[in-house]
Chain A
Amino acid sequence: ITPIVLVHGGAGDIPEERVPGKIRGVKLATKLGYKKLQETGNVLDAVEEAVRSMELDENFNAGYGSVLTTEGNVEMEASIMHGTTMKAGCCSFVKDIMHPISVARRVMEKTVHNYLAGDGVMEFARNEGFEILYPPGQLVTDFARQALEEWKEAHKRGEVGFARTEIGAKNKYANETETKQYGEVG
């Protein structure tokens, strides 16, 4: 089998001005992941490296550049899985940590559980030596802040919600009836 590293940088109604950054970012992530695979021979290292690259890049909705909650905060999630051992690690409500994917991997490797969230995952991350960025809010970008403001305005007008499936009922393949996106979907 010829080794491969394949990445995605998110799906949705991506504005044209965001396209060049996305393309640059996914190509870089692929190269870094592939290089890591060559260096260590470990597929977990490869996928973690590729994702870490995109978590650092504000062009992507992960790590630095994550979209915001209604309260203007970043709450991140991640998961990692090895298909041969079937071991997995997952995390939610990760705050002020640059690389949630590395937290997920640590959950997989250092606990008997698959999934940690909330206060528990933050305490775990702290105990594992992950840097908790201080002051809070350092992962918030201007783009994410602007997207939330646009979302709030549209929400007031009743134009957005979480019921995209209902609003876009005529839409089978993301054509003109799809609702406008603010920032990015998950």
Chain B
Amino acid sequence: TVGAVAIDKDGNIAVATSTGGITGKLPGRIGDTPLLGSGTYADSRFAGVSTTGHGETIMKAVLAHDIVKRLEFTSDDVQTATEKACKAMTDHLIGTAGAIVIDKKGEVGIAFTSKKMSWAYQKGDKIAYGINQGDFTEETI
């Protein structure tokens, strides 16, 4: 699965997610990616989220919507909300996943309970990226 979240100078947020699914899926299987609230969700009042990982688990957790609602109803910052939502999902449903988030202030949240998740973002002339837990490399373009 691949996904992207963007915010402009006025605080407009958009999200896009695309996937081939899971190897060996039955023909006709639908995953989390096209389901609003699971694989993709955007509400510029709070945040935009794209998720990736075990679709059957993400669908049951409604992960993208969960993250946005945590930002709406708790005082957690975006990184904390993203980590808590992914952790809660895996604690309850075992399956693993990750999410990328930009909140209304333009802050970034990146978390995953899977072994790896490749991610990158550009802000001004800086690009940050990583793939393993704890990775953070920043380069100037």
Which A residues fall within an 8 A CB radius of B?
Answer: 1-14, 19, 22-23, 25-27, 29-31, 33-34, 37, 41-44, 46-48, 50-51, 54-55, 60-63, 65-71, 73-84, 86, 88, 90-93, 100-101, 104-105, 114-115, 117, 144, 147-148, 151-152, 155, 160, 162, 164-166, 168-169, 171-174, 178, 181-186
Q: Are A1 and B9 closer than 8 Å at their CB atoms? A: yes
A–B complex contacts, Cβ < 8 Å, 27 sampled? A1-B8, A3-B123, A6-B120, A7-B5, A8-B117, A10-B2, A11-B97, A26-B129, A44-B14, A47-B6, A50-B16, A51-B2, A54-B18, A55-B18, A61-B21, A62-B2, A67-B23, A67-B25, A79-B36, A79-B40, A81-B16, A81-B40, A90-B36, A172-B94, A183-B22, A186-B1, A186-B54
In the bound complex, CA of A55 to CA of B115 (Å): 23
Q: A residues within 8 A CB of B43?
A: 83, 86
Tell me the residues in window 112-126 of chain B with beta carbons closer than 8 Å to chain A beta carbons.
Answer: 112-124
B81: shortest Cβ distance to chain A, in Å? 15
In the bound complex, CA of A88 to CA of B37 (Å): 11
Give 18 A-B pairs besides A8-B117, A183-B23 with Cβ atoms closer than 8 angstroms.
A6-B101, A6-B108, A8-B4, A11-B98, A11-B117, A26-B119, A34-B122, A43-B14, A61-B2, A69-B25, A70-B24, A84-B44, A90-B36, A92-B30, A151-B23, A178-B96, A183-B22, A185-B53
Q: Are A84 and B12 closer than 8 Å at their CB atoms? A: yes
**Chain B contact residue count (CB 8 A cutoff):** 85
In the bound complex, CA of A21 to CA of B101 (Å): 23
Complex partner residue of B23 from A33, A42, A105, A182, CB under 8 angstroms: A182
Q: Are A1 and B122 closer than 8 Å at their CB atoms? A: no
In the bound complex, CA of A22 to CA of B120 (Å): 10
Count: A-B pairs, CB below 8 Å: 359
Q: Are B112 and A11 closer than 8 Å at their CB atoms? A: yes
Complex partner residue of A77 from B34, B41, B114, B117, CB under 8 angstroms: B34
